[in-house]
Structure 1
Amino acid sequence: MHFETSLDYLESRPYDEISVGDSASLVRTLRPEDVKLFALMSGDMNPALANTEFRHSGLFRDFIAHDMWSASLLSTILGTQFPGPGTVLIESTLHFSRPVTIGDTITVTVTIRQKFDHNHHIVLDCACVNQDGMLVVSGSAEVLAPAEKIKTKRTVMPEITISDKYARLQVLVARAAGLAPIDMAVVHPCDRESLRGALLAAEANLIDPFLIGPEQKIRAVAEENGFDLGSHRIVNVKHSHDAAAMAVTLVRSGDVEALMKGSLHTDELMAEVISRAAGLRTERRISHVFLMDVPTYPRPIMITDAAINILPTLQEKVDIIQNAIDLAHIIGTPEPKVAILSAVETVNPKIQSTLDAAALCKMADRGQIKGGLLDGPLAFDNAVSIVAAKTKGINSAVAGRADILVVPDLESGNMIAKQLEYLANALSAGIVLGARVPIVLTSRADTAETRIASCVIAALIAHANRAKQQAG
């Protein structure tokens, strides 16, 4: 007899109800999260599971599971299905025939081979086959069968999300693979994180840094933290204000093609950048974009403007949106979906942001904003959740699928970005657009990883600017 499993209950088969030849099956599909979770739980970080050269040597065609993941399925079927609750595993012998790869669907079958009345032990033949019918694991297990029937309501297991910020950072860094490092002025890197971020970005071949600040202070920070400054250039100036002015001068002279804020205040750097006499203005309004990789969202998402424009006007929002769309094109999104946020998703004359959203969408229809698909006003929930959008009856190609979130003002945008970073473990990159060169504008509290992520974006923009100049 082949036993089927109830979806609502766990029910054991006592020894007296089991006959030789009885069987049961369990089906599972291997997901990337399963491999990561098994590695975390077991501590088995076998490099063979992740090494690209080994994986593609001909035997392994993709990321593979730990062998014991397959074995754990046998434990699952024995303890929860057949014989079920109360079963005690005594001994098992397993042979692993071939690896299990991401996406493989494994069917585990156990069949009663022998019973022992004197101690209520049973021996089961075990087999795991993949979706192609190929044997993955085979063997046998001896168990102590339950003495009496046990029936209990099945517990709903919680969902587990593994947030690997370092892995997501490596994916982002890979976007710049093959590109030459860009010359970047690092303005006043006089604390641990700002100097470490610049040095790590240089180590990743993203930038060739000009370290601008009091040389003695920079070297002291390096010595205190064991950093090797190597042959990186140090431009010695007296204080942070001089560092900001020197960085802008290096851009204007063509010596660097990007800036990165160090341990000085944002206003101090941006005052030099926006100076009408000797700054880095263009015809476009300067704005800021947070590019965030959020574990619970299926794609990177931009938030703008959350750092430069405090309460932007309608015309300023046009430039803010166009800057973000242009960045989306550079990082590989040909027609980004732009959600213009407000507190509600309907136009309300008493809420200015809803009026701006409606006007911006019409301006996009008329070609005044190009390259993206706009919709608004949208509340945050229906901008990022298809379920929320459908619940509220919003029929939109943008709702629930947004690539860019345009916030009403700096306060709301900054709160959203910081909440995602600190409560949702988002990987964050911050970049200023609309100036002559990209500017990595991070908070003084940001980690070196955030600075590296921002340097990736700056490098992509700088190379796009090079290509544009060569084409022009």
Structure 2
Amino acid sequence: MDMKTELLENRVFDDIAIGDSASITKEITQDDIALFAVISGDINPAHLDAEYAATSLFHHIVAQGVLTAGLISGVLGTKLPGPGTIYASQDLKFLAPVSPGDTITATCTVTEKILEKHLVVLDCHCVNQNGQEVLRGTAVVLAPVEKVSRPAITLPEVRLLRHERLRSLLARATAGSPMPTAIAHPCDDVSLLAAVEATERGLITPILVGPEQKIRDTAAAHKLDISGFQIVNTANIHESAAKAVALVREGTAKLLMKGALHTDILLHEVMQPGTGLRAGKRLSHVFVMDVPTYPRPLLVTDAAINIAPTLEEKCCIVQNAIELAHVLGIETPHVAILAAVETVNPAMQATVDAAALCKMADRGQITGAILDGPLAFDNAVSAAAAAQKGIKSTVAGQADILLVPNIEAGNILAKQLTFLANADAAGIVLGASVPIILTSRADDDRARLASCAIAVIMAGGQHHG
């Protein structure tokens, strides 16, 4: 047996003496409170909303109640009496609040033994790092009568997946008035659900552009209430795309949203000379990703429109993403130009393009950001990985924008982050006269709403606070 393995050993009833004592010390974290909320369903703002809790007399009542009492249980179950102990009853009083960052020491001391039932009565109390008593009471347990000595079980690693960044964008977008939005051919449940959700959250006022009967039949089949929505009747997909673009061009709608039609069909109408929404820029797609394991929003471009962009096209793509980053409140975004290696190799066009883009930024041809590349993905998002390779860069490990070499790399990267790293990805097309909202059947409600929120922020001027 590994000598470093922790052993759990109990104290049988006959070996326990009055006055015996044991303790456990733990720092209470916000994750501890969040885990309890997930398990119990208790989402009381007194312990999940720091601003509310600060004004609440009973702030963080869950921490002082369940978590500190849980430490008592930990002492009884692992130390005194230890493994094999059965909890009989407890009487605890919570004397002071406990907040994240407090270090709590729980102590249990034997005060009485009841021989005929092998019961042990213990005085229990918890104090914080300042010596203030936060809990006191008694516990009665059925002590084990057989000796137990066994290796401690390794607890599973638990990670909390938070998506506050997209939620903050949603809160910012809903601060203004709903944005009139032309939705091209919303003839499936996902398109209509996105319209309903965004309307309910006050993001958009939808204009459904498509075959009216088909739209109504789809809504009825999926029990979606669209009774208050304006519908512009069209005969087919191509007419839906053309009419939705026309509504934006004439000013009736301020945003354009893709429904149940292929992206190419919609963008073909957007790019039509004279009738489209061209704004003198190249169209490009950005995924605004909320990756729970990454400390900042991550913009991935281009993963949906430009298949194999040239150097000139990459210049436009990265500038579009930089401008979006500014709107989202990232004042000087760090742009990592991705490739498979960190050195320029003439046989790998992506590395040559990366070097050229960095020099273009130095000469003012790309503005508003700090660029570096070529960088492999690990060096772009991990300072430790970059340090191991001796890479000195202000972008390495701090990337806000990832410029991918081609559409395959971008699509694979975004979907890996979504499906393996539990990221949310809000998709938007930039470069037209208005933002274009793209949603996918694989999107969850957060991602769909975030896509709308980003478009609303861009079109409505909800400046970063």
Same fold (TM over 0.5): yes
Range that drifts further, 408-417 or 146-155: 146-155
Cα deviation for residue 227 of structure 1 reads: 1.8
Task: Output the CA distance in 1 between the equivalents of 2:295 and 2:399.
Answer: 10
Q: 1:201 aligns with which of 198, 203, 206?
A: 198
Q: Where does 1:211-226 land on structure 2 (aligned, <5 Å)?
A: 211-226=208-223
Aligned partner of 2:459 among 432, 445, 462? 462
**Contact 1:108/1:126, CA 8 A, preserved across alignment:** yes
* Counterpart code for 1:406: L
The counterpart of 1:433, out of the listed 424, 430, 434, is: 430
> What are the superposed Cα offsets for residues 389-421 of structure 1, whole Å, 9 maximum, x if unpaired?
222222322222221111100011011111222
**Residues 37-73 of structure 1, C-alpha deviation per residue, up to 9 Å, x if partnerless?**
3234345556765578974553144685382232221
Relative to structure 1, the CA distance from residue 60 to residue 362 in structure 2 (aligned partners, 3 Å threshold; closer, same or farther) is farther
Structure 1, 320-329 or 99-108: larger mean CA deviation: 99-108
Q: How does 1:349-388 map to 2 (within 5 A)?
A: 349-388=346-385
Amino acid at match of 1:101: S
Hey, what does 2:187 align to over in structure 1? 190
Equivalence for 1:3: none
Take 1:211 and 1:255, find their aligned partners in 2: how far apart are those partners? 12
CA contact (8 A) 2:290 2:423 kept: yes
RMSD of Structure 2 on Structure 1 (CA):
2.6
- The CA distance in 2 between the partners of 1:310 and 1:158, in whole Å, is 42
> Does the 8 Å contact 2:60/2:97 carry over to 1?
no
Match of 2:235 in 1: 238
Note the C-alpha offset of 1:35: 2.7
Matched, 1:83 2:85: no
Report the counterpart of residue 113 of structure 1 in structure 2.
Answer: 111
C-alpha offsets along residues 320-344 of structure 1, whole Å, 9 cap, x if unaligned? 1111111111111111121111111
Name the SS for the 2:206 alignment partner. Answer: strand
Task: Provide the rounded CA distance (Å) in 2 between the counterparts of 1:132 and 1:279.
Answer: 67
CA distance in 1, matches of 2:441, 2:142: 61
Deviations 1:81-128 (A, max 9, x none): 333333333332111234433333322122222345565543221112
Match of 1:20 among 18, 36, 41: 18
Q: Does 1:315 align with 2:294?
A: no
Aligned to 1:125: 123
Summarize the Cα distance change of 1:240–1:447 in structure 2 as closer, same or farther, 3 Å threshold: farther
In the TM superposition, residue 260 of structure 1 has moved relative to its aligned partner by 0.5
> Which residue of 1 is the match for residue 161 of structure 2?
163
CA distance 1:168–1:65, change in 2 (3 Å): farther
User: Are 2:68 and 1:32 equivalent residues in the alignment?
Assistant: no
Relative to structure 1, the CA distance from residue 75 to residue 266 in structure 2 (aligned partners, 3 Å threshold; closer, same or farther) is same
Q: Does 1:9 align with 2:7?
A: yes
Distance in 1 (CA, whole Å) between partners of 2:61 and 2:276 is 50
Contact 1:187/1:244 (CA < 8 Å) preserved in 2? Answer: yes
Task: Give the corresponding residue for 1:72.
Answer: 70
Maintained 8 Å contact 2:301/2:321: yes
Q: Structure 2, unaligned stretches of length 5 or more?
A: none
Is contact 1:56-1:62 (8 Å) kept?
A: no
Identity across matched positions, percent: 54
Asked if 1:408 corresponds to 2:430, the answer is: no
Q: 1:316 to 1:155 in 2, by over 3 A?
A: same
In the TM superposition, residue 153 of structure 1 has moved relative to its aligned partner by: 3.0
For residue 147 of structure 1, report the CA deviation from its aligned partner.
Answer: 4.3
Runs of at least 5 residues in structure 1 that lack an aligned partner in the other structure: 1-5, 468-472
The 2-side partners of 1:210 and 1:144 are apart by 68
Aligned length: 460
Q: Distance in 1 between matches of 2:59 and 2:89?
A: 32
1:257 matches 2:257: no
Paired residue type of 1:330? V
2: CA distance, partners of 1:322 / 1:335:
12
Residues of 1 paired with 2:157 and 2:384: CA distance? 18
